Structure 1
Amino acid sequence: MRAGLVIYGSLDTLSGGYLYDRMLVRALRAADHEVMIFSLPWRSYPARLADNWAAAFAARIASARLDLLLQDELNHPSLFWLNRSLRHTLRCPIVAVVHHLRSQEDHPPALLPLYRAVERAYLATVDACIYNSQTTRAAVAALLGYAVPGVVAYPAADHVQPPSRAEVLTLLARRSASTASLQVLFVGNVIARKGLHTLVAALAALPMNHWQLQIVGNTALDPAYADRVRALAARKGVAGNLVWHGALDDAALRRRWCAADLLAVPSYEGFGIAYLEAMAFGLPVIASSAGAAHEIVTQDATGYLVPPGDERQLAARLGALARSRAQVAALGYHARLRYERHPTWQTSMAHAVSWLHEITDR
């Protein structure tokens, strides 16, 4: 089978969505399928809309003689009209790889109708979808008003080379006995959607000597937002409690996972690979009740789900954990068990590839 994948930028981009795409490509190639990458540049939203009339890009895809065209749904602004013309030249299924919907994010009210209309128009042009969660599948159906055929292939976290259960038990014992400040870890690109500002505001309501926030993530995607978070911390008088690490390689990130007491990323996520990565290291997770985090995080068992933007409830959860390290360890133990029940990348991507075989053989 010869497949194509449409993405923005490089497949090596550091994010959960691109990791998922890489794993899918790896699984297809391991099954002796050819995968061609069709990359569009990262540009402004209006410029991405203009991609729909890029004749040269459409001609490249059409000339590739594909058996399957995969498209990262993130690219929908560039494809909502282009797919209509591709229908006349391609004789293969078009499948969207859906991580989360742009129209589910917070946007200025004046722009949201446009974003919803463009995303809806794009999804109406595909034959099927690979979804990263049941929540994402339901969100697509809600936007369109009907279900799009597809398969749910969950992301995994075994790529982080997690410690053994015995090693995790040692980490849990250390956390339970700790009298140091609570080590809160944030892992994610430093953009508004990830909710770092909400986390900083919540932590600022706690005694300063009770916590320290370790921030791991790329600050270059939205430097103005990163500056706003720094300014917020300064206004609250807690700038010294924040440690900014930037983007880390795997070895350095592994050290952060081992040193942390919990992960807190109160954002809307279509899945949230970082939550599962944290669980692999026996870390409890504080996530948002919006999005798909509830498919991974069990309230009061492996962590906590808080309403979006609810600084007071987030502060209450963090404060309780700062006062009870035994609770931190108990939640972390069950988080590790939840990770162990989750499918591996190999299992999940094999499921997706098997389903792709079925739709291309029809």
Structure 2
Amino acid sequence: MRVGLTLYGDLTDRSGGFRYDRQLVAGLRRAGDTVEVVELPWRDYGRGLLDNGSRALRRRLDVDVDVMLQDELAHPSLVRTNRHLSYPVVSVVHHLRASEPRPLSPLYGAVERRYLDTVDGVVCNSTTTQSVVTDLGVDAASTVVAPPAGDRLDPDIDPTRIDSRAHAGPLRLVFVGNIERRKGLDTLVDGLAAADAETELTVVGRPVDERYAQSVRSRVHEAGLDDRVAFAGRLSDDALASTLEDGHAIAVPSRYEGFGIVYLEGMSFGLAALASRAGGASDVVTGGETGVLVDPDDPAAVAAAIETLAADRDGLAAMGRAARRRYEAQPDWDETTARVRGLLADVAGADPEVVA
């Protein structure tokens, strides 16, 4: 098949959604498809909506493909533009903007509903994302759940290492993600401050909202946590692997995650996960088995989870072993690509024997 991919920004970006798109492109090419990538400039929401009157954008999207994948993040520029395209479209939904707790969520929901009306199929990264998409009127038969593999680091972990680490030193939490409000770092810091447990936190990630990042740093200082919270910034894969190898739990109590590939990456090291119930984390994290699920914006629940993990080291070790097993059971990128190719073939009317 001749496949296109339209997205905002640069496909080489290191965030989870871009890694998913990049792996999908690589998998389609390995399977024999040609893939043309169309990278659009980043837009704020209002400027993106104005793109729909742009003839230059339509010319940019006038490519010779059987079917076009679109990263749903770029929906503001495509909500009306799609009606002028000559090929079928399949949207890749990591999570809908309307699912995030924002003041303008009703507006985003209305626009995303109209955008989804223009596509012929939807790739969802989790069952939660699929439910949200179908709630907006998309026929479930035109969707496929194709979760990420989370094997970017893919360490070789000895189970005895998980056990010995669980019983060593203070509880070591690792937060990995962009420093922005949605990721819930403020909730994690407030929970850490309230917890009656010897705990350390390493924050890995770049600030994408400088004002929010500064407010979190102020929280850390005001709570007297400067010697227990380290801001490591963005790390190389090797440095991140070393940080996770030394941790006890991957802790990202997001306000919303469509999937949360970071949980799988932490679990690959045998780390228990401290995650939010909001969104798709429950596809990966089972409360009481592979980690702890808390409600978003609930520092008291985070504090209680920290105290439990710190006090019950046998339980922490058992969660770590279960987390590693859950990671090993996750579909690999070849299976994810195969699920997406099946939907693309249906939408494009390709010969199933050619796609198989």
**What's the TM-score once normalised by structure 2's chain length?**
0.94
Q: 1:358 and 1:85 mapped to 2: Cα distance?
A: 21
For the aligned residue pairs, the C-alpha RMSD in angstroms reads: 1.5
Q: Deviations over 1:228-268 (max 9, x none)?
A: 10011112121221111111111111101101010110111
1:83 has 2:88 as partner: no
Residues 249-268 of structure 1: matches in 2 within 5 Å?
Answer: 249-267=236-254, 268=256
1:205 counterpart (190, 194, 197): 194
Paired with 1:196 and 1:272, the residues of 2 have a C-alpha distance of: 14
Task: Please say if residues 129 and 148 of structure 1, whose CA atoms lie closer than 8 Å, have aligned partners that are also in contact.
Answer: no
Alignment of 1:34-183 (within 5 A): 34-62=34-62, 64-86=63-85, 90=86, 92-108=87-103, 111-144=104-137, 147=140, 149-163=142-156, 167-178=157-168, 180-183=169-172
Q: Distance in 2 between matches of 1:344 and 1:21?
A: 14
SS in 1 for 2:136: helix
- Could you say which residue in structure 2 is the equivalent of 1:8? 8
Maintained 8 Å contact 2:121/2:343: no
Name the structure 2 match of 1:317: 305
Partner-residue secondary structure (3-state), 1:239: coil
The letter for the 1-side match of 2:247 is A
Distance 1:93 1:142 in 2: 22
State the 1:148 CA deviation.
Answer: 6.3
How many percent of aligned residue pairs carry the same amino acid? 45
Shift of 1:97: 0.3
Q: Could you say which residue in structure 2 is the equivalent of 1:357?
A: 345
Q: Secondary structure at the match of 2:258?
A: coil
CA contact (8 A) 1:190 1:217 kept: yes
- Cα displacement string for residues 37-95 of structure 1 (whole angstroms, at most 9, x for unaligned residues): 11111122111111112211211222x22111110001111111111122xxx1x3200
CA distance in 2, matches of 1:275, 1:78: 31
The correspondence of residues 296-311 of structure 1 with structure 2, limited to 5 A, is 296-311=284-299
1-side partners of 2:140 and 2:218: how far apart?
44
What amino acid maps onto 1:276 in structure 2? L
Please give the alpha-carbon distance, in whole angstroms, between the structure 2 residues aligned to 1:319 and 1:168: 26
Q: Does 1:184 align with 2:173?
A: yes
Deviation, 1:33, is 1.6
Give the paired residue count: 349
Would the aligned equivalents of 1:168 and 1:282 in 2 still touch at CA under 8 Å?
no
Q: Which amino acid aligns with 1:176?
A: A
**Distance in 1, Cα, partners of 2:138 & 2:2:** 32
- In structure 1, the partner of 2:258 is 270
- Aligned pairs for 1:11-30 (under 5 A) are 11-30=11-30
2:214 to 213, 224, 227: 227
Check conservation: 1:27, 1:353, Cα contact below 8 A. no
Question: Which runs of 5 or more residues in structure 2 are unaligned?
Answer: 351-356
1:340 correspondence with 2:328: yes
Q: How many Å apart are 1:170 and its aligned residue? A: 3.2
Kept after mapping to 2: 8 A contact 1:168/1:281: no
CA distance 1:234–1:49, shift in 2 (3 Å) = same
Contact 2:8 2:42 in 1 (8 A): yes
List, as ranges, runs of 4+ consecutive aligned residues in structure 1 with deviation greater than 2 Å: 143-148
Q: Which amino acid aligns with 2:55?
A: A
1:279 aligns with 2:272: no
Counterpart in the other structure of 2:319 = 331
Contact map agreement 2:200 2:228 (CA 8 A) in 1? yes
Question: Residue type matched to 1:10 in 2?
Answer: D
SS at match of 2:11: coil
Q: Distance in 2 between the 1:218 and 1:171 partners?
A: 30
Instruction: Output the amino acid matched with 1:152.
Output: V
Paired with 2:306 and 2:108, the residues of 1 have a C-alpha distance of: 35
Query: Which residue identity lines up with residue 69 of structure 1 in the other structure?
Result: M
Asked whether the equivalents of residues 129 and 151 of structure 1 are also in contact (C-alpha less than 8 Å), the reply is: yes
Report deviation, 1:351.
Answer: 2.4
- 2:354 alignment counterpart: none
Offset of residue 223 of structure 1: 1.1
CA offset at residue 145 of structure 1? Answer: 7.0
Q: Residues of 1 paired with 2:211 and 2:261: CA distance? A: 25
**Unaligned segments of structure 1, at least 5 residues:** none
Maintained 8 Å contact 2:162/2:321: yes
Aligned-partner Cα distance in 2 for 1:194–1:177: 28
Which whole-Å CA distance do the structure 1 matches of 2:267 and 2:345 have between them?
A: 32
